[in-house]
Amino acid sequence: MHESYKVTKCCQSINISDVQQDVSKWKRWIIVHTGSENDFVPNELLIFTGKNKQDDYHSEMYAHNFTKRVTEKLVPNITEPSIIVMDNAPYHSIITNKAPTSALKVDEIKLWLLENNIPFDDTLWTPSLLMLVKKHKPDC
């Protein structure tokens, strides 16, 4: 919710100037709640003042906060059976075991291989290590 929200589209006379206004200079509040056809989920309301002055609020809610919120507030307070439907905001899905790329250092690639129990020769160079990564990385 923007402090000075104005309608961005409306029917108006051609003699009236544009109604759009730069919202980035105003305060915004982020309101998050979950509801059903019957009611809102108890103890799940979250309201906070956004610090980001950009048009996109998504940087205010990121994967760690979202995951914590779902596991601590949403899931314990919904009744069974329930279905949770979400849009595809970036913080709704994250890659938890991201495979290394050529941008990483050799030690970081080796660490990923070790953490994923993939045997490798410690004398291998980056291209060979990345071939191992490609062979063993998850499809998703």
- Condensed to tens digits (0 to 9), the pLDDT of residues 76-86 reads 988 888 888 88
pLDDT of residue 1: 45
Task: For 14-82, give the DSSP string.
Answer: TTSPP----GGGS-BEEEE--B-SS-BPTT--EEEE----SS-GGGGS-HHHHHHHIIIIIGGGSPSS-
pLDDT of residue 125: 95
- Rounded to whole angstroms, the Cα distance separating 40 from 44 reads 8
pLDDT of residue 32: 82
In the block, which residue shows the tokens 């979400």? 86
Each of the 140 residues of the chain gets a pLDDT tens digit; together they read: 445 555 556 665 666 665 555 545 567 777 888 888 888 888 888 887 777 655 555 556 677 778 888 899 899 988 888 888 888 877 777 778 899 999 999 999 999 999 999 999 999 999 999 999 999 988 75
> 3-class SS at 2?
strand
Task: For 107-121, give the DSSP string.
Answer: HHHHHHHHHTT----
The model carries a pTM of: 0.50
How many CB atoms sit inside 10 A of residue 60's CB? 17
